[in-house]
Amino acid sequence: MLSIVIIGTGNVATHLFNTFLSYDTLNVLQVVGRSEDSLAYFANKTKTSLISNTIEIADIYIIAVSDDAIAEVSEKLKNQKGLVVHTSGSVAMSILKPHQNKGIFYPLQTFTKSKLVNFRAIPICIEATQKKDLKTLYFLAETISNHVHEVSSEQRKHLHLAAVFVNNFSNYMYTLGNEICEEHKVPFHILKPLITETAEKINDITPLQAQTGPARRNDVETMQRHLDQLTTKEQKNIYKLISESIQKKYGKEL
Amino acid sequence: MLSIVIIGTGNVATHLFNTFLSYDTLNVLQVVGRSEDSLAYFANKTKTSLISNTIEIADIYIIAVSDDAIAEVSEKLKNQKGLVVHTSGSVAMSILKPHQNKGIFYPLQTFTKSKLVNFRAIPICIEATQKKDLKTLYFLAETISNHVHEVSSEQRKHLHLAAVFVNNFSNYMYTLGNEICEEHKVPFHILKPLITETAEKINDITPLQAQTGPARRNDVETMQRHLDQLTTKEQKNIYKLISESIQKKYGKEL
C-alpha cells in the first residue's frame, strides 16, 4: 500500500484524488491546501490541513499546484523524508532541490472541473533520479493508467509545448468554428463528426499526410472568398497566417 | 431503386462510389471522367465514359469535381433530364443554372484516398428547390448516413468555412505539435490520447468552456518560455497570434 499526501486543491489535485480513492493499493493520507475553503471538498473524505500545519508522513508527496508556487511548496516540505514529486509539464525536476528523493508525475491531459476523466487512457510521464523512486512512480502511474512513459525534464518541456498546439490551439480552432456558426445561425453540432474524424485520422496516417483544405491545395480563390466572409480582424489574421504556413509547408510539391 | 451517374474520379467521387455499391437500392449506372487513366479504377465495376461521350439516363447526376470545374461540367450535362447536384461545400447551388432540377449533396468530411471512411457517421448537407428533388436527396443521403441536414447555400458557405477551422487548421496544429516532437526526439504518439480527448470533450461542453493552457490563464511567463523554445519563425508567429487571440477572448474575466 502506497501512502500519499496531495498538496493542492485545483483540477489536477482533485482528479488525482478521486482516482486514487478507487484503488485499494493507494491510500491518500491527507490533502494539503492554502485555505479552509479550498479544502472543503476533501474534508469529509480524508484528513485535510493547511500547508503551515502538520504534514503527515507518507511514501510520496504530490505537489499539484500552479507552476509558480511549486518552489515555495517544495521548500515548505523540506523536512519530509518521502519522495516529493510535482505534476507540471513545463517545470524542471531540479526545482525540487531541497529533496534527495524527487521526481515528476505529469499526467498529460487537459483537465476541466466539470468533466470526468478516465485516467486509464491518460498518458503519465514520470521521471526520477533514484531507481527506487522510479519504481514507486511506475507503481503509482501504472495503477491508474495504461500509458506510462519515462520522460526526461528536457523532453517533457517540449512535450508540454507540443501539447499546447495539439490541445489548446486545436480547441481554439473549434471555438472559432463555433463562432462562425453562431454568427450565421448554423448549428455547430453538424461539425462534431468532422472534429472526431480529424482527431481519429492521425491514428492511421501522420497529420502531414492528413492535411486537406484550400491552403493545402493552394486554392487561392476559395481562400480569398473565405477571407471576405470572415467578419473580425481576429479571424482573418488567424486564417491568413495558418493558411500561409500550410501553403509554404506543402509548397514544394505544388 | 435510384439510378446514379457520378461525374468525377477524385476522393469524394471514389468514396461515394464505393459506398453506393454496398446498397441494393442504389444503382451506379456510370462513372464519368476526364481521362481513361482516371477511370481505370472504376472500369471493371460499372460503365465508365469520358465526359464528351454518351452519358446514361439516370435519376440523379452527382458532380464530384473540383470547385472551379463544376460550371463547365454542369453545362455539359444540360441535356440530361434528371436531378443534377454537386458535392461542394463552398459553391452555391445557382451554379447549376442550366438545370431545372438541381440540388446539393455535400458530405461534410475530410477525405483522403488512403483512409476508408464510414459514411454512416458523416453529416450530409442537402439542398434543392423542388420538393420532389429534396425527397430524392433525403432518400439517397439517409441510405448512406445517419446525419442528414437540410442546409441552404448561404448556411453551407459558412459551415464550410467553419470546417476549415475545426478540421484543416486543427489538423495543422497536430502537424506543428508533431514537428516539435520530432525536433526533440519525443515520440508524438504520447500525445494521441490528448488529441482524442480534446475532440471528445466538446461533446459535453462548449469549446469556449473547454479552453485550458497558458494563454487561457494569462500565464505570461510560460508563454515567453514557450516562444524561446520554438525554433522557427513560423511556429513562433502562430504561437503568438493564437495565444493573443485566446488572451483577448478571455480577457474580460481575468
CB-nearest to B210 from A171, A213, A237 is A171
User: Which among B114, B152, B198 is the top mutation candidate for probing chain A, defined by the most A β-carbons within 10 Å of its own β-carbon?
Assistant: B198
User: Nearest CA to CA, how far is A221 from chain B (Å)?
Assistant: 9
User: Nearest CA to CA, how far is B213 from chain A (Å)?
Assistant: 6
Res A13: pLDDT: 96
CB-nearest to B194 from A109, A173, A208 is A109
Which residues on adjacent β-strands are paired with residue A31? Answer: A6, A48
Mark which residues 38-67 of A lie under 8 Å from B by CB: 67
Mark which residues 215-234 of A lie under 8 Å from B by CB: 215-216, 219, 221-222, 225-226, 229-230, 234
CATH architecture under which domain A157-253 falls: Orthogonal Bundle (1.10)
Residue B119, burial from CB neighbour count under 10 angstroms (0-12, 13-18, 19+) = buried
User: Nearest CA to CA, how far is A65 from chain B (Å)?
Assistant: 14
Nearest chain B alpha carbon to A206: B175
* Three-state DSSP string of chain A: CEEEEEECCCHHHHHHHHHHHCCCCEEEEEEEECCHHHHHHHCCCCEEEECCCCCCCCCEEEECCCHHHHHHHHHHCCCCCCEEEECCCCCCHHHHCCCCCEEEEEECCCCCCCCCCCHHHCEEEEEECCHHHHHHHHHHHHHHCCEEEECCHHHHHHHHHHHHHHHHHHHHHHHHHHHHHHHCCCCHHHHHHHHHHHHHHCCCCCHHHHCCCCCCCCCHHHHHHHHHHCCCHHHHHHHHHHHHHHHHHHHHHC
Provide, rounded to the nearest whole percent, the portion of chain A with pLDDT above 70. 98
pLDDT digits (tens, 9 = 90+) for B57-74: 999 999 999 998 999 999
Kindly determine whether residue A177 and residue B166, on different chains, have CB atoms separated by under 8 Å: yes
Q: In whole angstroms, what is the distance from residue B50 CA to residue B60 CA? A: 18
Res A253: pLDDT: 53
Which residues of chain A lie closer than 8 angstroms to B161, CB-CB?
A: 180, 226, 229-230
CATH 1.10.1040.20 maps onto chain A at: 157-253
CATH 1.10.1040.20 maps onto chain B at: 157-251
CATH architecture under which domain B157-251 falls: Orthogonal Bundle (1.10)
pLDDT digits (tens, 9 = 90+) for B161-172: 999 999 999 999
Mark which residues 132-191 of A lie under 8 Å from B by CB: 147, 149, 151, 154-155, 157-159, 161-178, 180-181, 183-188, 190-191
Listed in sequence order, the residues at least 6 apart from A144 whose beta carbon sits closer than 8 Å to its beta carbon are: A19, A20, A23, A119, A120, A124
Residue B109 pLDDT more than 90? no
- The ipTM is 0.89
pLDDT digits (tens, 9 = 90+) for A110-144: 877 767 778 998 999 999 999 999 999 999 999 99
Which DSSP helix (H) or strand (E) runs through B106?
strand B102-107
Could you confirm whether domain A2-151 is CATH 3.30.43.10?
no
Which residues of chain B lie closer than 8 angstroms to A239, CB-CB?
A: 164-165
Between A251 and B148, where is the model more confident?
A: B148
Mark which residues 61-100 of B lie under 8 Å from A by CB: 67-68, 90
CATH 3.40.50.720 maps onto chain A at: 2-151
Kindly determine whether residue B194 and residue A221, on different chains, have CB atoms separated by under 8 Å: no
Averaged pLDDT score across all residues of chain B: 94
Cell numbers at A56, concatenated = 503527515
Residue A67 pLDDT more than 60? yes
